[in-house]
Amino acid sequence: MQQSEVLIIGGGVIGCATAYYLSKRGLSVTVIEKKQIGEGGSSRNGGGVRQSGRDPRELPIAMYAVEHLWPSLSDELEMDVEYYKKGNLRLAKTDAHLKILQGLTDRATALGLDVRMIGADEVKAINPYLSDEVIGASWCPTDGHANPMLTTLAYYRKARRQGVRFITGESAQRIVKQKGRAVAVVTDYDTYYAERILVAAGFESNDLLASVGLFVPMNRILLEALVTEAQPKMFEQMLGTAEADFYGHQSTHGSFVFGGSSGIDAYTSDFDRPVTQGMTAPSICRGIMGYFPVLADAKIVRTWAGWIDECADHVPVISNVDEVPGLTVACAFTGHGFGISPAVGQILTSLMTNETPMVNIDALRYDRFKAKI
């Protein structure tokens, strides 16, 4: 039997960030991770720290993170997480693209985000390497990118230094309820008691939540990304397209990290490993070259795949569970959890210490899912 004030299931960026903020407050925290630190989406995503293009329900979290947390995160964690606040260009090649971007932009400006539509000349001025086919873009100057692997490991490192106990290679199996309250988690090794329990285990959160009768409607979807050899420094913005051909950025290292899809990569017969598919990387490359012909000779050195936990309504569940006091859930980030992870870590800290979070998250409750008719 093991005991701590907080038990976190899942050693991804959400689990590690929350462990860090909780331990900073002096709470004793244990983190149980089935594989290794940052094994899931935390180390496989494209590194976007975006506000633009987000659903209004989670946009305030992203804005909070960009304003208050990301700029000082490297200092706070004593490690360079390679954060760049150099803007996000979402590119358009057709009028239909422009229309999509205009819609996104209108919704974001209504919530106070500084994002606007710009023309071809301004796009070129921001990023001279783009193809002449680009006719416009949405431009959010406060967006950016960071290194997700380093961010996750930086939270982990600092949390570990602050005394958080991390255990990897141990699988949580069920939540123990006593007198109506979540009091412990049984793993394949031991039973861990805690006053508060956070489930932040991505798609697999459902396996654990099932033991207390909960279910978050989400799918597991396979996405791919790739990275090039190091290239001379070209640009610092985060990039995306209206048509979602690809997204990505150039890293501190000089390599380009791009994500994308072939459109049929979600269909795989291997459900044990996130495996890449033969036709996806070529498809991503064609997407990139359509916007960056100058990168045609850049060599791809690595491709990888990862599952996202796609929520039925495309925004996460970040919530205390009313019916099971002591239990908190954070999952279904739908592939855009990394950019908001510092803020989510703080929100979860507030939720588990009975404080009001600095951002309203009522729209992200676990019990919001209803039939459409």
Partner 1 sequence: MNGRIDRSIDLGPYVAAPDDGMIICRCEEVTKGEIRRAVHDGMFTITEIRRYLRTGMGLCQGQTCARLVKQIVAKELDVSPDVLEDAVARAPFRPVPMRVLANEAEGRTR
Partner 2 sequence: MRIKEHPILGATEKGATVTFEFDGKPIQGFEGEPIAVALRAAGVMVHRHTMKEDRPRGIFCAIGRCTDCVMIVDGKPNIRTCVTPLKAGMKVETQYGVTAKKEA
Partner 3 sequence: MERYELIVVGAGPAGLSAAIEAAKAGMKTVVFDENAKPGGQLFKQIHKFFGSKEHKAKIRGYNIGETLLREAETCGVEVVLNATVAGVYEGRELTVMQGDSIKHFKGDSIVVATGASENMVTFPGWTLPGVIGAGAAQTMMNLHGIKPGSRVLMLGTGNVGLVVSYQLLQAGCEVVALVDASKKIGGYGVHAAKVARTGVPFYLSHTIVAVHGEDCVKGVTIGEVDAAWQVIPGSEKTFDVDTVCLAVGLSPMAQLVKSAGCEMNGIVPAVDAYGATSVPGIYAAGDVSGIEEASSAMIEGRIAGAAAAYQAGYLEKSDFESIVTAHEASLGSLREGMFGPKQRGRVQTVTEEGIVLSQSLLTKGYLDESDLAHFPSIQHGKTGVYPVIECTQNIPCNPCQDACVKGCILIGNDITSLPVINAEATCTGCGMCVASCSGQAIFLVEEKPLESTAYVSFPYEFLPLPEKGDRGIALDRSGAPICDAEITAVRTGKAMDQTHVVTMKVPLDYASTARFFRRR
Of 260, 297, 296, the C-alpha closest to 281 is 260
**Environment class of residue 87 by beta-carbon count within 10 Å: exposed (0-12), middle (13-18) or buried (19+)?**
buried
CB 62, CB 50: distance < 8 Å = yes
Q: Going residue by residue from 28 to 57, which x/- string records binding to partner 1, judged by CB under 8 A?
A: --------xxxx---x--------------
232 binds, among partner 1, partner 3, partner 2, none (CB under 5 to 8 A by kind): partner 2
C-alpha span between 196 and 105 (Å, rounded): 39
Residue corresponding to tokens 């861990």: 192
Give whichever of 142 and 228 is closer to partner 1, judged by the CB atom.
228
Pairing of β 246-250 and β 191-199? unpaired
Q: Going residue by residue from 292 to 321, which x/- string records binding to partner 2, judged by CB under 8 A?
A: -----x-x----------------------
Helix H or strand E segment including 75: helix 70-77
Residue 296 CB, nearest distance to partner 1 (Å)?
4
Q: Going residue by residue from 242 to 281, which x/- string records binding to partner 3, judged by CB under 8 A?
A: --------------------------xxx--x-xxxxx-x
Residue 276 CB, nearest distance to partner 3 (Å)?
7
Q: What is the CA angle 264-145-24, rounded to 5?
A: 115
Give whichever of 119 and 282 is closer to partner 3, judged by the CB atom.
282
Give whichever of 99 and 161 is closer to partner 1, judged by the CB atom.
161
Give whichever of 121 and 297 is closer to partner 3, judged by the CB atom.
297
Helix/strand/coil for 361: coil
- Partners of 329 in the β-ladder: 199, 319
Q: Going residue by residue from 235 to 254, which x/- string records binding to partner 2, judged by CB under 8 A?
A: -------------------x
264 binds, among partner 3, partner 2, partner 1, none (CB under 5 to 8 A by kind): partner 1
231 binds partner 2 (CB under 8 A): yes
288 binds, among partner 1, partner 2, partner 3, none (CB under 5 to 8 A by kind): partner 1
Hey, which residues between 257 and 316 contact partner 1 (CB under 8 A)? 264, 276, 279, 281-282, 285-286, 288-289, 295-304
Q: What is the DSSP string of 86-128?
A: --EEEEESSHHHHHHHHHHHHHHHHTT---EEEEHHHHHHH-T
C-alpha span between 171 and 189 (Å, rounded): 8
358 binds partner 2 (CB under 8 A): no
Tokens of residue 19, six digits: 């462990």
C-alpha span between 22 and 9 (Å, rounded): 14
The footprint of partner 1 (CB under 8 A) covers 36-39, 43, 149-150, 153, 156-157, 160, 165-170, 189, 228-230, 253, 264, 276, 279, 281-282, 285-286, 288-289, 295-304
The footprint of partner 2 (CB under 8 A) covers 229-232, 254, 297, 299
